[in-house]
A and B are shown apart, each in its own frame.
Chain A
């Protein structure tokens, strides 16, 4: 979230789309309700189904799953056409005024300039700003120009604003209706309501956009979220109390997992993973440390220019004494990523025999999918599988997946080790929530029986491997034998020690930015104290400040809220620097005065500093006249309406593409219907269906309030609340099929089948998609072949992800779990 859960109470308007917070974040949903009760805020819900969130909306629109960019693009078009934009904000805080190089082409035919049909990749050199003083022609280097040409009148035909306007002018209400199935008048109603916060250019009001994995799980998911971010920039809603683009994370610590690099292409704190071309540390730093790119008269903080400090401190945390200046801080110990190793690729590699074993901790890989059948087949080909879980799950029992004959079972040679692990309440540590708060939690109950903490199991394995390397050597033992492991109890490392290491400490007496001395061994006060000379160590620069000499900030429980804005500065600690709303400089006009004096977050003080109720997300002594941009993490210092160069794989502006399986050809450009750079897979199990094969019903998948992923099917209370799997089917479709509520239906995709009872409902209506009657159905994901109902024989033992396709977003590698094609029949 750019903002936070509590901050939602400050909003005037909520667009909830690609998420179902009332069902999946019921505790957080108190804040939308707070805004409703105390500010008369309105809620717009756009979803393929009338959900429990929709039940609380002022306006609900049913959208075809996957058509989100068309809807949001339509809103951008509406805002521009009706002049409901924040002009000052746009000119000063975004790249609207920047001029784009000549040769850049918008995708009228579905393709931006630079597409190579042989590789299905873009040459992105034209996706760049024009350097000031240049003719705009000629070959520019593939880097952002340090001095960008711009036009504050926004009239230049190659200004980002004019290109944006031209690009989304195609997203007319009629086009929105054809693609999304939302009737023109309904769309206009929503567009009028959403943009009403910027009526007559008034900047006081503010709207927020709230989403979850309903936006990420598409073959263009990143670009959906970008469209939302651009819309919010256009309306001047980012950086403000009650505004922002707010991702609701679906697990208690998924934010922490991302921050700590539970992803293959980043290191903790979103440092970039080394690539094979990074022959040494200097090359790596040169590639990953951006330089400012802005109009000469403007200023840019370019906070990522601190990358060397973050990277050296990280390597010191990882390799300790073995990381020295002379050996490039042990940079060459880090793996170099030669290609993508995302979730779907791991399973594809295992299916193709390249991955021989897997540790599956804290996840149920077979169920998580997509294309569960492929994951099951992949595990059959592996040599070994280690599962750490609290319940017997589908992954550890992949060998007895329904349909496996006793003969087939005998042939499976995979050795499975199932280890009982501790549950979340059986350990202390921190959760990082959607609002970026690191909150310490205490152990509630000790693990039962032989169950061990995941990290104890991993420590056992690591220490044994290190011992083997020490004894026997090996090809490259250095990263293992030199890994810093200086813990009081190497086998049972305490989370306190780990948290302190992640925060970072001084390795010599150093001066912090205020001139105070930090003694060697002391905890660092924050990331501003990090050094690139090896005198600090820090496991994750973003978390620096969470456990200082003053103690565990994560354990703070102060309930003071002096501003009344729900900032609660003394409750736990939020990254970065305990700042609750990111980019909050943008809550003020260019002269440093809050857009809305009623909701003052930070402001420029006459004393010559930025001060406020929140921690300023800015260089605190940069006066407004210097025109430093509020988006300090971008080298431009401003918000990107145009994502230059390699920022995105599939275009600098989001363009609407159809899901990989779609009932229609893209009305914008039928010849280039899907995302041209989408990644699909080629094994015999990676099949993709078409309407001509009879797959003509749009299917989406989701969670229910009553269940949590694939755990709670083992808990009697949850099973009592929702006892069995089901398929939500529109009344009209059920009538056509002759199916009544409670009767069994079989849903089939090109990959597999799913059988469950039908929930016949009016909450999903038939839609007109490009003039054709189209049905959508929905499947909650929670059941599989182990659980209370499953073990009692009350289900068909099928998993929802037997249906979903292996197609991934080219930017974030998220699979397309939503909006694929199926057929449905009476079972």
Chain B
């Protein structure tokens, strides 16, 4: 993958420093999704499938305009359609583009034990590196947004890359480029956040949506995909957007408690190794097993 100006910030299952971290200043990027001007046209879905060369698949009618029940390993961008009857009897038809949120504190990355299978770039993109994925699916349970999806054939997990290949070359993500109404925008986190706040204010002041607000949940450190919602107090209405997304405690514990302990324990490894060498001597060469093709 051409990564261009992408700078790695964090790596899954990797102890020690991140190679090259802090070498170069990088701005945090962000996708802006104004749910209140989305028309559910699915141009973003098509752009995602086509840019990422996904195979076509057979879907089934499911009493909805929604293409399929949830994102899939080969369908990373899905508009969720929800009919919502308000208390005054009027109807809302909510259309929210669902995809990886690219959390600042990514549950997937925290959960992942495979070195280099998940990387977070300094610009905020959280990217899966399938060549390093061991298929353990911890990331699936680590994600509060139900995004990573396992492919049982390749035994790898996939999700939206925020078009890191395009972004790395200075282009906007494919979904953004395809959006006909401009409800999707792309830029720096600060700029998108500013746009989103302004739009939410407009909705509150001029369109009667008194609870309009910006979804950028602090419980995961904020996200690099933010939503403008008509009602920020009820994100669940928009196809199950969690009000307070949480990384499972086992994974926060893994990173915050277990890992430092392991690191501490590993400090004992050096003296142990030293004494082992002193007492046992150097490692002798072993006969090689017959050569084997490594399937790739």
Contacts and interface: CB of A to CB of B under 8 A. Distances in A.
B275 interface: no
B41 A26 contact: yes
Contact of A23 (B39, B43, B50, B94): B39
Interface string B149-186: 00000000000000000000000000000001111000
Contacts of A55: 39-40, 92-95
A724 interface: yes
Contact of B41 (A22, A720, A761, A763): A22
A210 to B, nearest CB: 14
Given A55-B93, A58-B207, A722-B65, A23 B41 contact: yes
A721 B92 CA distance: 22
Interface in A48-82: 50, 52-56, 58, 60
A757 B61 contact: yes
Interface string A733-759: 000000001100000000000000111
With most chain A CB atoms within 10 A of its CB, the pick from B40, B60, B208 is B40
Contact of B180 (A26, A741, A761, A762): A26
Interface residues of A, number: 39
A33 interface: yes
Contacts of B37: 33, 36-37, 56
Contact of A717 (B46, B58, B63, B95): B46
A364 interface: no
With most chain A CB atoms within 10 A of its CB, the pick from B93, B206, B208 is B93
B27 interface: no
Contacts of A27: 180
B63 A720 contact: no
A791 B228 CA distance: 42
A29 interface: yes
Contacts of B92: 55
Interface string B87-110: 000111111000000000000000
Interface in B175-227: 180-183, 199, 202, 206-208
Nearest to B40: A52
With most chain B CB atoms within 10 A of its CB, the pick from A33, A719, A760 is A33
Contacts of B59: 720-721, 723
A60 B89 CA distance: 12
A761 B58 CA distance: 23
Contact of B85 (A742, A760, A762): A762
B42 A721 contact: yes
Contacts of A50: 91, 93
A717 B49 contact: yes
B57 A720 contact: yes
Nearest to B50: A717
B91 A720 contact: no
Interface in B18-68: 36-37, 39-43, 45-46, 49-50, 56-65, 67
Contacts of A22: 39-41
Contacts of B64: 759
A720 B59 CA distance: 6
A658 B20 CA distance: 74
Contacts of A716: 56
Nearest to B92: A55
B181 A30 contact: yes
A721 B45 contact: yes
B83 interface: yes
With most chain A CB atoms within 10 A of its CB, the pick from B63, B64, B94 is B63
A705 B45 contact: no
Contacts of B56: 716-717, 719-720
Given A50-B93, A761-B83, A30 B180 contact: yes
Contacts of B39: 22-23, 26, 29, 52-53, 55-56, 705
Contacts of B65: 722
A307 to B, nearest CB: 41
A98 interface: no
A707 to B, nearest CB: 11
A40 interface: yes
Nearest to B75: A720
B90 to A, nearest CB: 7
Nearest to B39: A22
A706 interface: yes
Contacts of A40: 202, 206-207
A571 interface: no
B49 A33 contact: no
Nearest to A34: B182
Nearest to A38: B202
Contacts of A717: 46, 49-50, 56
Given A40-B206, A55-B95, A705 B61 contact: no
Contacts of B57: 720
Contacts of B61: 723-724, 726, 742, 757, 759
Nearest to B43: A26
B273 to A, nearest CB: 56
B63 A741 contact: yes
A630 to B, nearest CB: 33
A58 B37 CA distance: 12
B80 to A, nearest CB: 13
B186 to A, nearest CB: 16
Contacts of B95: 52, 55
A723 B67 CA distance: 9
Contacts of B208: 58
B128 to A, nearest CB: 23
A52 B63 contact: no
Contact of A29 (B42, B91, B181, B207): B181
Interface string A87-131: 000000000000000000000000000000000000000000000
Interface in B245-286: none
Contacts of A34: 182
Nearest to B57: A720
B187 to A, nearest CB: 16
21 contacts: A23-B41, A26-B41, A26-B43, A33-B37, A33-B182, A34-B182, A37-B202, A50-B91, A54-B93, A56-B36, A58-B207, A706-B42, A720-B49, A720-B56, A720-B67, A721-B59, A726-B61, A759-B63, A759-B64, A763-B83, A763-B91
Please name the 8 residue pairs, one residue from A and one from B, whose CB atoms are nearest each other, closest first: A741-B63, A22-B39, A716-B56, A55-B93, A26-B41, A27-B180, A724-B61, A40-B206
Given A717-B49, A720-B56, 18 more contacts: A23-B39, A29-B39, A36-B37, A37-B199, A37-B202, A50-B93, A52-B95, A55-B92, A55-B95, A60-B90, A705-B39, A705-B41, A706-B42, A720-B59, A720-B67, A721-B46, A723-B59, A757-B61
